[in-house]
Amino acid sequence: MTPADAEAVSALLRHSWERTYTPLMGAEKVAAQNESKHGAQSLVADLARPHSESFVASTENGTVAGYAYAIVTKGVLWLDRLHVAPEHQGSGIADGLLQAVMVNYVGEPSISLEVIEGNNRAMRFYEKHGFDVVERKSACGSIDGVPAIVMRRPLSRA
Ligand SMILES: CC(C)(COP(=O)(O)OP(=O)(O)OC[C@H]1O[C@@H](n2cnc3c(N)ncnc32)[C@H](O)[C@@H]1OP(=O)(O)O)[C@@H](O)C(=O)NCCC(=O)NCCS
């Protein structure tokens, strides 16, 4: 991802949050997250965060179809965001983005993520890719009252 992708990624991310999480956490919490974290400027700032990497998947005509963001925090690699536009889900784009993240971080022992309880499609996707449930939490990141599941899988050493 480069700063030139930020507006398109912001639109994808906002729409994906509205569509996926409104039924699970309500419109107010979704709007607050979109406001504070998913604007184009915020995504450009994320590009410069140490130990992080942002990826986009584009179609042949240059449309942004998917986005992934990963970061190492306190020695743990987190897949913080993985979003594929609805019309491109089931196409393999998510597999490609996950693969890009894992290749980028070869040498890290494992990759972890939080998935909001009830996001069954995402859970199924991660299980398919070798992630196991390791913890259940009453809050997802900084979002109070939204239960989350921590999943993890080992990473190849070479
Ligand atoms: C999560 C996401 C990246 C996965 O990408 P994808 O292209 O949809 O993934 P796939 O189609 O390869 O895999 C999803 C699996 O869930 C299954 N699935 C589809 N709808 C489902 C549902 N309602 N409940 C449970 N499983 C479902 C699919 O059949 C598939 O499993 P299969 O390959 O065994 O048939 C994508 O759905 C997405 O962007 N979702 C919205 C954002 C999101 O939730 N991101 C994850 C944040 S943790």
Decide whether any atom of ligand 1 lies within 6 Å of the 87 Cβ: no
Work out whether the CA dihedral 6, 143, 101, 57 comes out positive or negative. Answer: negative
Supply 143's token pair: 């979002």
Q: Would you state the pLDDT for residue 158?
A: 66
The pLDDT tens digits of the residues spanning 6-48 come to 999 999 999 999 999 999 999 999 999 999 999 999 999 999 9
Decide whether any atom of ligand 1 lies within 6 Å of the 19 Cβ: no
128 CA → ligand 1 middle, Å: 10
Q: Would you state the pLDDT for residue 144?
A: 83
Q: Give the residue ranges of the chain where pLDDT is below 50.
A: none
Using the atom order of ligand 1, give the atom closest to the CA of residue 122: 1
Question: What is the fold, at CATH topology level, of the domain defined by 3-154?
Answer: Aminopeptidase (3.40.630)
Decide whether any atom of ligand 1 lies within 6 Å of the 122 Cβ: yes
Q: Whose CA is nearest to atom 8 of ligand 1?
A: 89
SS3 string, the chain, reads CCHHHHHHHHHHHHHHHHHHHHHHHCHHHHHHHHHHHCCHHHHHHHHCCCCEEEEEEECCCCCEEEEEEEEEECCEEEEEEEEECHHHCCCCHHHHHHHHHHHHCECECEEEEEEECCCHHHHHHHHHCCCEEEEEECCECCECCCCEEEEEEECCCC
3-class DSSP assignment, residue 30: helix
Supply 36's token pair: 């504070």
Cα angle, residue 157 at apex, residues 156 and 158 outer, rounded to 5°:
95
Decide whether any atom of ligand 1 lies within 6 Å of the 94 Cβ: yes
Q: Would you state the pLDDT for residue 142?
A: 80
